Amino acid sequence: MKAFSEMFSEDDIKTFLGESNSDMGEEIDFEAFLRLYLDLQGRAVEKSGGLRSSFLKATTTTFHHAINESEKASYVAHINNYLAEDKFLKDFLPIDPATDALFDLAKDGVLLCKLINVAVPGTIDERAINTKKVLNPWERNENHTLCLNSAKAIGCTVVNIGTQDLVEARIQLLADLNLKKTPQLVELVDDSQEVEELLSLAPEKVLLKWMNFHLKKAGYQKQVTNFSTDLKDGEAYAHLLNALAPEHSTHSTLDAKDPTERANKVLEMAEKLDCKRYLTPKDIVEGSPNLNLAFVAQIFHHRNGLTDSKTTTFAEMMTDDAETSREERCFRFWMNSLGATTYVNNVFEDVRNGYVMLEIVDKIFPGTVNWKQANKPPIKMPFKQVENCNQVIQIGRNLNFSLVNVAGNDIVAGNKKLIIAFLWQLMRFSMLQLLKNLRTHSQGKEITDADILNWANNKVKKAGRTSQMESFKDKSLSSGIFFLELLSAVEPRVVNWGLVTKGETG
């Protein structure tokens, strides 16, 4: 508002603002502020005789998120279909896609939490969701935090999203696109090395690989590389459905000259496979990536066209290192919890280009990464990956990590032992930083193991629980009871005691 001081006095500005906004003590959002600004701008132009002063020459713009009505209608249909019988939401469903009821219902976070449980059942203990008819800001914030953390845990992309925003989650049909849920996917590869690569692929990439596998068998010459432009003409869909459902196969789909007509025939054929119509012919022709992704995932779910012939063979070829798997899972969860831009699907594969490592290091120790020398994905040249990884190693050495005979090439090569060694030191450094911050808040007092031990025991005792631990090597900790009681003491709703056992056996 200072910019207007050359034309109006402070009292004049207050008067104008009072005319536009009766309650000057009330907080306003950005859109309201912008309206006030434009009103003052109009008065300034009028006062100057229609001439803009220097500070008004720049065009004032505001950005609006464009809402794809087709996508909104698809999401609404999805919600109405899967949550119609939910005890809490049934009073609000079905949602009318022609209104903004979807966004109003999502504000309290209950709908989003429910959708996460639809995607991956059991992710959220529904007793932890605040489901009162009217929620206060703290309860609403708790729901949003629960939703966002759970979304990260199941693999949703949650970048620059806070508790006041909505989360864009992936369709739950992608949950089966991995070898554990659908071992028949091994039919897509030819040897054990390719199986390792398949394990590391994100669900969307697996879906593309599956689609191209069937298209190649059907004689389709083109390669589908995305869920947008490559599917606009509907030809890939027509060949895919003819290959997967020969009993419904028809040449009329391929013979159709108009893309919209072909897309309509594709959807009619898909409906014969019980694929719900979440998109329209227009969505296919316009190349809507989200809706096409959902549609292909639905086709996979109803008719994947794979067999069990090679499952046993590849299962024998794959080594099952339980210890390494546990460590990978642990580091993956930790890395994703830091809020980096890139989501980690598989630690050993995703860190090889070095960029994820740089993001993680920058989150833990801001300012250490020279982003001018970093190479952002996609990185096609191997030496660019080595450059990233060399910077990671150099930062590790600057932080006094033990990295004898370790080079960037080792990370690029996917050396699991060395990657885990580096990540362990990085996680340890992060924990030390946390303790250092605690020490700062404790008037410089060093935080010792005894301090942490006493805090945990006192927390459990004050909660009315009986477990105590003598040290971090206490064998009684193996039952898990103490940790559950500590978690419950911090937040009572996180532990479902109906599922807790005595922990007497493995």
Instruction: Report domain 183-308's class.
Output: mainly alpha
CA distances from 91 to 94, 95, 105, 166 (A): 8, 10, 11, 22
Of 423, 464, 475, 431, residue with least CA distance to 449: 431
pLDDT of amino acid 297: 83
Domain ranges of the chain: 1-48, 70-168, 183-308, 322-438, 454-499
Average pLDDT on 359-374 reads 87
- Reported as a pLDDT band with limits 50, 70 and 90, residue 458 is very high
Query: Which tens digits make up the pLDDT trace of 22-76?
Result: 555 556 655 566 666 666 666 665 665 544 443 343 333 433 444 556 667 777 8
Average pLDDT on 339-361 reads 84
Pick the range with the lowest mean pLDDT from 71-75, 210-214, 375-379. 71-75
Give the pair of three-digit tokens for residue 307: 């067999």
Alpha-carbon gap, residue 497 to 482, rounded angstroms: 13
- The helix (H) or strand (E) run that includes residue 400 is none
pTM of the complete model: 0.46
Average pLDDT on 253-271 reads 82
Query: Which tens digits make up the pLDDT trace of 89-113?
Result: 777 888 887 777 777 777 778 888 8
Do the beta carbons of residue 87 and residue 73 sit within 8 Å? no
Whether 317 has a pLDDT exceeding 70, the answer reads no
Looking at domain 322-438, which CATH architecture does it have? Orthogonal Bundle (1.10)
Pick the range with the lowest mean pLDDT from 25-29, 254-258, 377-381, 470-474. 25-29
Average pLDDT on 332-354 reads 82
Of these ranges, 4-8, 25-29, 398-402, the one predicted with the greatest mean pLDDT is 398-402
Whether 352 has a pLDDT exceeding 80, the answer reads yes
Whether 167 has a pLDDT exceeding 60, the answer reads no
1: Cα separation from own chain's centroid: 38
Average pLDDT on 114-127 reads 80
Average per-residue pLDDT for the chain: 75
Are 70-168 and 322-438 the same fold in CATH? yes
Pick the range with the lowest mean pLDDT from 152-156, 346-350, 383-387, 389-393. 152-156
Q: Dihedral of CA 40/42/46/49: which sign?
A: positive
Looking at domain 70-168, which CATH architecture does it have? Orthogonal Bundle (1.10)
Do the beta carbons of residue 262 and residue 234 sit within 8 Å? yes
pLDDT of amino acid 434: 76
